[in-house]
Amino acid sequence: MPGNRTRKSSATAVVLALCAVLGGCSGPQESGGGGKVVLRYTWWGNPDRAARTQQAVDLFEEKHPGIEVQTSFSGYDAYKQKLATQAAGGDAPDVMQLDYRMIDQYASGGVLLDFAEQRAALDTDAFDTGLLATGKVDGRQYAIPQARGTETVVYDAKQWKAAGVAPPREGWTWNDWADTMRELARRTGEPGGTDPGWSEDAFEVWLRGRGKALYTEDRQLGFTADDLTHYWTFTDRLRREGAVSPAEETTQLDGTVENTPLGRGRALSDNNWDAPASGYLGLLPDGEVTLAPMPSGEDGTPGQYFKPSMFMGVAADTSHPEESVRLVDFMLNDPEAAKILGATRGIPVNETLREEIAPDLKDFDRTIYDYQASLEGELKAPPQAPPSGDSALQTTFQRDYDQVSYERMSPREAAENYITEAKAELRS
């Protein structure tokens, strides 16, 4: 019957169409190079870190012929966005580098593997238990700290000497720092440093120097609009004086050293984390890149702290959990890998390795090691892991300060905006 035929053919067409739809969704999941297990490993960082990480990964592949590691890296801002999208789509890389801010969110969202499931593949005996605990959420080990870092004022000592400005003295305060920035600007005509008003990290150092914190223990805001107004008024005044970078420079900051005013040759210092500061070696080839502590509060209270700077995590839905954890183990515990990686992510957390590689550290790795050693015992305990909303608030902070530095809002207005936004962010 003709009607029947039509029905059949329409059914066939529907099935075909469905196949087309489904076919569009199923990607080439398991297709790898010649029966090898293929792992994806992603991180953020500068080209120096990329080169060394690749070298370590090559060594891993050599030792594990059955495993191929596909790597990719980018700047922090881009990495943060890409990873969030991948993770949400159920397509997180097998092994990923994580920030302190990401752990809470990704762990509670079921993106990360509990390392307890692969205990045999990962050795954590040489890790400080306190530091290891920073990778725990609800008592489960979702991430392993890879290194610890701390913030720094990084500058080229040669440029400062040429300008006739004295290097920072130990325990300098924010007012000392501001005076130094002014003097640098006066003598060279260039801003003394990056405008720290843009950076939530720098604000945290300033806040801790005054005995406060970004977040309270119950994960609410630990400061008021008055505190933020005070800070932004301070930085805004320095910007107006030309002592720190102008808005057009500051707005280009994106987490890479290449786009900082110092990296672009438009200022004489930067506030940054110690490990990424190694990127300045390539940008200031004739310079003498030096690390100074962040300024303290006026009464000498230090604001900076040793922060677990990066973590490694494994995707919960990886097809190769054991191999993935083995890669994590290799990156953290293998002596040869540790030698290659040096301090590119900060000083290693594996204490045995730290002592083992310390004498051999050279160049900038040595600089970072000595810098951290000089602060040992001086700093206060790190705060607990920030609430998951902090990742978004970090960007909000930058955007609100843009309004101040482009003189579209007063520090007070922008600070009140930020508090409103932060409360909404932390409520959810």
Partner 1 sequence: MTTTHMPTTRRGEGAAPPVRPARRPRREGAAWVFLSPWVLGACVLTLLPMAVSLYLSFTDYDLFNAPSWVGLRNYTQMFTEDPRYWRSVGATLTYVAIAVPLQLALALVVALALKNMRHGKAFYRSAFYAPSLLGASMSIALVWRAIFNDGGTVDHLLGTGGWVNKPGWALLAVALLTVWQFGAPMVIFLAGLQQIPGELYEAAEVDGAGRRRQFLSITVPMLSPVIFFNLVLQTIQAFQVFTPAFAISAGKGGPADSTLFYTLYLYDRGFVASHMGYASAMAWVLLLAIGVVTAVLFRTSRSWVFYASEGDR
Residues that bind partner 1 (CB under 8 A): 2-3, 6-7, 9-10, 13-14, 16-18, 20-21, 77-78, 80-81, 84-85, 87-88, 105-106, 108-111, 247-249, 251-252, 254, 388-389, 391-392, 395-396, 398-399, 402-403, 405-406, 408, 417, 420-421, 424-425, 428
d(CA 421, CA 392): 10
Range 416-423, long-range pairs (CB < 8 A, 24+ positions): 416/225, 418/225, 418/228, 419/221, 419/224, 419/225, 419/228, 421/393, 421/396, 422/221, 422/389, 422/393, 422/396, 423/221
Q: Are 357 and 338 in contact (CB under 8 A)?
A: yes
- Looking at beta carbons only, is 70 or 252 nearer to partner 1? 252
Give the residue with the Cβ less far from partner 1, 216 or 251: 251
Specify the residue, 229 or 391, whose C-beta has the smaller distance to partner 1.
391
| CB closer to partner 1, 130 vs 265 | 265
Whole-number minimum distance, CB 237 to partner 1, in Å? 19
CB of 40 to partner 1, least distance (A): 19
CA gap 83, 43 in Å, rounded: 10
> For the chain, how long is the longest CA-to-CA vector?
99
Q: Are 94 and 39 in contact (CB under 8 A)?
A: yes
| CB of 101 or CB of 345, closer to partner 1 | 101
Question: Using CA atoms, how far apart are residues 388 and 150, in angstroms rounded to an integer?
Answer: 21
**Closer by beta carbon to partner 1, 86 or else 188:** 86
Q: How far is the CB of 46 from partner 1 (least distance, A)?
A: 17
For residues 410, 151, 325 and 353, what is the CA-based torsion angle, rounded to 10 degrees?
Answer: 180
Q: Are 416 and 225 in contact (CB under 8 A)?
A: yes
> Strand 37-44 vs strand 67-74: parallel, antiparallel, or unpaired?
parallel
Rounded to the nearest whole angstrom, what is the least distance from the CB of residue 79 to partner 1 in the complex?
Answer: 12
Q: How far is the CB of 106 from partner 1 (least distance, A)?
A: 7
* Tokens describing residue 328: 């994590």
Q: Is the CB of 15 or the CB of 373 nearer to partner 1?
A: 15
Strand order across the 289-292 sheet:
269-273, 151-156, 289-292
Residues forming a β-bridge with 292:
153
271 or 391: CB nearest partner 1:
391
Whichever of 70 and 86 has its CB closer to partner 1, that residue is 86
- Shortest spacing between CB 12 and partner 1, in angstroms: 9
Element (DSSP H or E) covering residue 175: helix 174-188
Q: Is there a contact between 291 and 368 (Cβ–Cβ < 8 Å)?
A: yes
Least distance in Å: CB of 2 to partner 1?
6
Burial letters for 210-234: b for 16+ Cβ neighbours within 10 Å, e otherwise? bebebbeeebebbbebebbbbbbbb
